[in-house]
Amino acid sequence: MALRVRQQRGVVVEYKGSGVVLDPTGNGHGYPVFVSHAHADHAAAFKYPDRQKYATEETHQLLHGLGWKHLDNWQQIKLGDRIKFDDIEVHVHNAGHVLGSVQFEVNTPEGTVLYTGDIGLEESYTMHPAESVECDVLVVETTFGAPMFNFPKRREIALDMVRWATMEAIPAGRIPVFKTDSIGNAQEVIRIFNTLTKLPVVTAKSATKVSDVYRGFGHDLEYYDYKSPEGEELLAGGKCAVISPKGSKLPYENLDSALASGWAVLFGGRQRAFALSDHADFKGLLGFIRRCKPKRVLTFHGGTMTREFPEYVRKKLGVDARPLSAKEETLNGTVQRGETRIKACTSQLLRTIRIPGFEYGTPWLEREMAKQGYSGGETEETLDYLVSRGILERTEKGVKMS
Ligand SMILES: [Zn+2]
Ligand SMILES: [Zn+2]
């Protein structure tokens, strides 16, 4: 059982001495880094300019468009690419979520791990659905992994949005504003209005910047920034639909706001909201898992509402499932470590970290510990333990003796 998967500042897949980190949320891993898409919680690796990162050109340009700095040390990947490191090969697949979003299939001699990143499973107005990939271990997002998340057909949602804007808001002398995520949903709303109506679309702030990047990659989108002369004129005339990032305020009085997001199903009419989502819904996720034919399912994303999801997978699909955590997972189950093993690892680690105040990088420590037969997960777990006891403290790239 040399293949290991765990979540520790990102999704870590290891095989013998080598590994990869997918969507890391912190520095300190020695392995090659892969970024699935441009949403901030997945793209944090780009905050570490010294690290080499693999990502699509679309992801890179979206981050650039959003004003992220120091985006160097970037290696371009494309759909279908296979990148090899020792015994590990990473195969890139479409994720159907936002522009440039991908899933990573990690092949090792022992088996295959598919990491979905975020996935969209519908043919939408801007995206093709995520590819299902047969694998042994499926690491799947479950943002909307509860039965209440049962989204209507895309076209129905689109028609609802258009109906509200053109037959309710505008006739009442109000300008319809769609509050939504700047990457993905914003472009979907633009495309819906471009396709189904003649109503011009006005975009605000990051929604404009991101849409410009989409346009650069051949997406046929028509919109005017709210600060352009055309945008200002349209807003003054009141006959347009506005798309604005969630949480931003526009300096106009006669606006009627609606939320466009998968979370809409939770509002139940208390607020104007449309269930437009770039994530899979509950049934979509179960279907996707079935098509991937995994032996084990490890879930990430989601909170209290999706806590039951692994149980649904076990009951409905008969596949072993549990949330991904810092614990090491293999093809057969979770690695259980005895107390003696952890004790041995602790004393080895304390023999390795000898000079008080000196910063030891985590990648170096993991390599040294691997020479003594300890896995990355064991080393990390022991480091966490020693940090929690106040014996070590975390530094930017590793640890030092307190
Ligand atoms: Zn995302
Ligand atoms: Zn996500």
What is the dihedral sign for C-alpha 182, 132, 19, 77? negative
pLDDT, one tens digit per residue, over 227-253 is 999 999 999 999 999 999 998 888 888
User: Is the separation of the CB atoms in 206 and 39 below 8 Å?
Assistant: no
Q: How far is the CA of 36 from the centre of ligand 1 (A)?
A: 9
Q: Which of 120, 59, 62 is nearest to 94 (CA)?
A: 120
How many Å lie between the centroid of ligand 1 and the Cα of residue 141? Answer: 10
CA of 322 to the centre of ligand 1 (A): 21
Torsion of CA 40, 44, 48, 53, to 10 degrees: -100
- Over 70: is that where the pLDDT of 1 sits? no
CA of 172 to the centre of ligand 1 (A): 35
* Ligand 2 centroid from CA 141, angstroms: 7
Ligand 1 geometric centre to CA of 42 (Å): 7
Give the Cβ contact number of residue 172 at 10 Å. Answer: 10
Does residue 224 have a pLDDT over 90?
A: yes
Any idea where the domains of the chain sit in the sequence?
A: 3-149+279-323, 154-274, 339-401
DSSP class of residue 101 equals -
Q: Which ligand is nearest to the CA of 181?
A: 1
Helix (H) or strand (E) holding 300: strand 296-300
Lowest mean pLDDT among 48-52, 68-72, 256-260, 334-338: 334-338
pTM: 0.92
Instruction: For residue 274, give the nearest of 151, 170, 187 by alpha carbon.
Output: 151
Report pLDDT digits (tens) over 13-44: 999 888 999 999 987 778 999 999 999 999 99
Measured in Å, residue 79 CA sits from the centre of ligand 2 at 19
36-64 pLDDT, tens digit per residue, is: 999 999 999 999 998 899 999 999 999 99
- Which CATH architecture describes the domain 154-274? 3-Layer(aba) Sandwich (3.40)
CA of 184, nearest ligand number: 1
Ligand 1 center from residue 377 Cα (angstroms):
26
Q: Separation of 390 CA from ligand 1 center, angstroms? A: 36
Neighbours of 232 (CB within 10 A): 14
The contacts found for 109-112 with CB under 8 angstroms, 24 or more apart, are: 109/15, 110/1, 110/2, 110/3, 110/15, 110/331, 111/3, 111/135, 111/136, 111/137, 111/295, 111/331, 112/136, 112/137
Residue pair 118/101 in contact (Cβ under 8 Å)? The answer is yes
**Of the ligands numbered here, which is closest to the C-alpha atom of 185?**
1
pLDDT digits (tens, 9 = 90+) for 289-329: 999 999 999 999 988 899 999 999 999 999 999 999 989 99
265/109: higher pLDDT: 109
Expressed in angstroms and rounded, the spacing between residue 145 Cα and the centre of ligand 1 is 15
Ligand positioned closest to the Cα atom of 142: 2
Helix, strand or coil, per DSSP, at residue 75? strand
How many Å lie between the centroid of ligand 1 and the Cα of residue 76?
19
Kindly identify the ligand whose nearest atom is closest to the C-alpha of 183.
Answer: 1
**How far does residue 320's CA lie from ligand 2's centre (Å)?**
23
Alpha helices (runs of H) in 165-324, residue ranges in sequence order: 185-196, 206-216, 229-237, 282-292, 309-312
CATH topology (fold) of 3-149+279-323: Metallo-beta-lactamase; Chain A (3.60.15)
Mean pLDDT, to the nearest integer, of 173-191? 97
Give the number of whichever ligand sits closest to the CA of residue 102.
Answer: 1
Concatenated DSSP letters of 358-401: PPEEHHHHHHHHHHTT--HHHHHHHHHHHHHTTSEEE-SSEEEE
Show the beta-strand stretches assigned E in 131-235: 137-141, 175-180, 201-203, 224-225
Q: What is the CATH number of domain 339-401?
A: 1.10.10
Token pair recorded at residue 382: 């022991």
Identify the pLDDT of residue 25: 92
